[in-house]
């Protein structure tokens, strides 16, 4: 079945440091890929997405590129801020049969950014 | 426009009781899905509804059930609560079709004592 493996945390960085959170996936078809972020005590917010190979999703300075050849979707940000402290989830939706209803998530990576 | 709305946000139940959680999707979204989030198991898919029909169910016991109404609002029910059912229950909605984003509500925090 589908699966997502992402870098285990926690990750602790200083403000303005470079961030990479690795994510690889296994899927039978051609999935869409997502990064969601969860702030303390809140639900999930979509950070960015990519729906086909070589697409780059970007938002709020975060970027991730859909790499079919390496089955990866690594999250990067050039300069993190304290406000980026949160849990980040990589996820895929299996589009086989045209359905997008189910997300398979990685276990999440806790990011803490210190001033 | 309004996002996915879940009620109640917090609740405490006793073992053996049952609970019903409610979800209002984003206007125009007819696909509604539910997820359970726990520290140990992470985020797990419970089930998904479209046009009042359950289209798929995750690997959860029959104590977990749900339904969707004609206005796309959804409820999930957990009967005979166990301590292990303590979790954040997240509802999500989306338009139908590959690549469409699934939007999440803020969740209902259930504590079973």
Per-residue pLDDT tens digits for B11-64: 999 999 999 999 999 999 999 999 999 998 999 999 999 989 998 899 999 999
- What's the confidence (pLDDT) of residue B98? 67
Q: Do A99 and B104 touch (CB under 8 A)?
A: no
Pseudo-torsion of CA B88, A87, B33, B3, nearest 10°?
A: 100
Distance from the Cα of B11 to chain A's closest Cα (Å) equals 14
- What's the confidence (pLDDT) of residue A99? 57
**CB-based contact, A51 to chain B, within 8 Å:** yes
Q: Do B50 and A101 touch (CB under 8 A)?
A: yes
Q: Supply φ then ψ for residue A4, to 5 degrees.
A: -130, 130
Task: State the DSSP H helix or E strand holding residue A60, giving kind and residue range, or none if neither.
Answer: none
Give yes or no for residue B105 having a pLDDT over 60.
yes
Q: Do B55 and A44 touch (CB under 8 A)?
A: no
Distance from the Cα of B43 to chain A's closest Cα (Å) equals 6
């Amino acid at each position: 079945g589908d699966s997502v493996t992402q870098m285990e945390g926690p990750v602790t960085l200083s403000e303005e440091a470079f961030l990479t959170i690795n994510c690889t996936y296994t899927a039978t078809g051609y999935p869409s890929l997502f990064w969601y972020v969860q702030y303390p005590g809140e639900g999930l917010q979509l950070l960015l997405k990519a729906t086909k190979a070589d697409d780059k999703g970007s938002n709020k300075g975060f970027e991730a590129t859909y790499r079919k050849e390496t089955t990866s979707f690594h999250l990067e940000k050039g300069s993190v801020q304290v406000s980026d402290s949160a849990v980040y989830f990589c996820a895929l939706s299996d589009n086989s049969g045209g359905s997008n209803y189910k997300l398979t998530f990685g276990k999440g990576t806790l990011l803490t950014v210190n001033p | 426009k309004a996002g996915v709305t879940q009620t109640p946000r917090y609740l405490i139940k006793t073992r053996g009781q049952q609970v019903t959680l409610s979800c209002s999707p984003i206007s125009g979204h007819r696909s509604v899905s539910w997820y359970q989030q726990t520290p140990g198991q992470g985020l797990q898919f419970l089930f998904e509804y479209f046009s009042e029909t359950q289209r798929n169910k995750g690997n959860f016991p029959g104590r977990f059930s749900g339904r969707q109404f004609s206005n796309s609002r959804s409820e999930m029910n957990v009967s005979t609560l166990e301590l292990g059912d303590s979790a954040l229950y997240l509802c999500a909605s989306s338009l139908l079709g590959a690549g469409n984003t699934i939007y999440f509500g803020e969740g209902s925090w259930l504590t079973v004592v």
